[in-house]
Amino acid sequence: MAVERTLSLIKPDATKRNITGAICKMIEDAGFCIIAQKRVKLTYEQASRFYAVHKDKPFYDEVCVIMSSGPIVAMVLEKENAIADYRTLMGATIPSAAENGTIRKQFGESVDKNSVHGSDSAENAEQEIKMFFNELEIIG
């Protein structure tokens, strides 16, 4: 299997609860290398650009408000099959539907406050990583 990179975001609901370290431990324990990491606060406009793929969805405005409501931690994760494997580790979008052992099952509060985001395809991973990191900041 090919080594891949994916973008992970720890969302404001999780940074507010001081569980950044606990989430990073789950990520590392699952075999991912965190090869870039930064704590940032998005503006509403930056969140809107990040979630542009959802612009026609009814939850678009709310997710942009929530994602710009506090600090987030952005990371590039590297591992074989990282994109699909990180989505498995995150669990279902709705935390109550997520499997045991997943990040969202353990820490997610609601569909809006589901603690983490992960890229859903190779194309989106490349674009999303570029939104947060330049080449010099990614140390594989």
Within 10 Å of residue 27's Cβ, how many Cβ atoms? Answer: 22
Question: Which residues are paired to 73 by β-bridges?
Answer: 10, 39
Give min distance, CB of 87 to ligand CMP, in A: 9
Residue 63 binds ligand CMP (CB under 6 A): yes
The answer to whether 105 and 95 have CB atoms below 8 angstroms apart is: yes
- The distance of Cα 62 from the centroid of its chain, to the nearest Å, equals 17
Tell me, yes or no, if 117 is annotated catalytic. yes
Tell me whether strands 33-40 and 72-80 are parallel, antiparallel or unpaired: antiparallel
Residue 119 binds ligand CMP (CB under 6 A): no
Residue 24 binds ligand CMP (CB under 6 A): no
The catalytic residue among 117, 119, 125, 129 is 117
Q: Catalogue the E-assigned strands of 2-125.
A: 3-10, 33-40, 72-80, 116-118
Nearer to ligand CMP, 6 or 136 (CB): 6
Nearer to ligand CMP, 107 or 140 (CB): 107
Residue 5 binds ligand CMP (CB under 6 A): no
Which 80-109 positions form the footprint of ligand CMP (CB under 6 A)?
Answer: 93
> How far apart (Å, rounded) are the C-alpha atoms in residues 38 and 36?
7
Active site residue ranges: 117
Please report, as ranges, the residues that interact with ligand CMP according to CB under 6 A: 54, 59, 63, 93, 111-112, 114, 117
